[in-house]
C-alpha cells in the first residue's frame, strides 16, 4: 500500500474523539503537508458542509502559533535542468556509440538504476507545515 493510502487508513481507523494532526500524519508517512485547498476539503468533510477560503485563512491565523504556510518545490533546480528530453537523447546516443565501439553485450551491462521523477506532477505549491518541523 502506498504511503498516502496508509495515512488515510490510519485517519479513518481513529475512533470518535481521538485527536491527530495532519502534519504529524504527513511526517509519519512521508507525504507532503496539506495545501490550503486540502485543509478546506478536510474541514468541509468534518463539518459536513462547505467552508469558505476565508474560513481557511482565519483557521491558519487562529492556529498560527503551531502551523505556518510555506512554499514547497516539486523538484530542485539541478534535477529539473538534468531532466530534459535533449539530454536523454544525447545520453542514449552516447550509450549506443560506446556499446557499439567496445562491442558490449547486453548481458554484460550492470548497475542500471531506475530513477523516478515526478515530472509535471508536483509543482511549486503552498503547503501548511507544523512550526515544529
Is residue 58 domain-resident? yes
Q: Is the pLDDT of residue 78 over 70?
A: no
Is residue 104 domain-resident? no
Residue 52 — very low, low, confident or very high, per pLDDT cuts 50/70/90? Answer: very high
How many other β-carbons are positioned within 10 Å of the β-carbon of residue 56?
21
Q: Which domain holds residue 29?
A: 3-73+126-130
Residue 76 — very low, low, confident or very high, per pLDDT cuts 50/70/90? Answer: low
Task: Please tell me whether the overall predicted TM-score, pTM, comes out greater than 0.85 for this model.
Answer: no
Is residue 89 domain-resident? no
Q: What is the mean pLDDT of the chain?
A: 74
- Tell me the C-alpha distance between 100 and 98, whole Å: 5
The number of folded domains in the chain is 1
Amino acid at each position: 500500500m502506498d504511503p498516502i493510502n496508509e495515512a488515510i487508513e490510519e485517519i479513518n481507523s481513529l475512533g470518535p474523539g481521538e485527536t491527530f494532526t495532519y502534519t504529524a500524519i504527513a511526517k509519519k508517512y512521508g507525504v507532503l503537508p496539506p495545501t490550503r485547498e486540502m485543509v478546506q476539503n478536510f474541514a468541509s468533510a468534518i463539518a459536513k458542509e462547505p467552508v469558505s477560503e476565508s474560513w481557511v485563512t482565519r483557521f491558519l491565523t487562529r492556529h498560527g502559533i503551531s502551523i505556518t504556510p510555506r512554499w514547497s518545490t516539486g523538484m530542485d533546480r539541478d534535477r529539473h535542468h538534468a531532466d530534459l528530453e535533449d539530454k536523454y537523447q544525447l545520453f542514449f546516443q552516447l550509450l549506443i556509440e560506446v556499446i557499439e565501439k567496445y562491442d558490449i553485450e547486453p548481458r554484460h551491462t550492470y548497475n542500471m538504476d531506475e530513477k523516478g521523477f515526478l515530472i509535471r506532477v508536483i509543482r511549486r505549491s503552498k503547503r501548511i507545515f507544523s512550526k515544529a518541523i
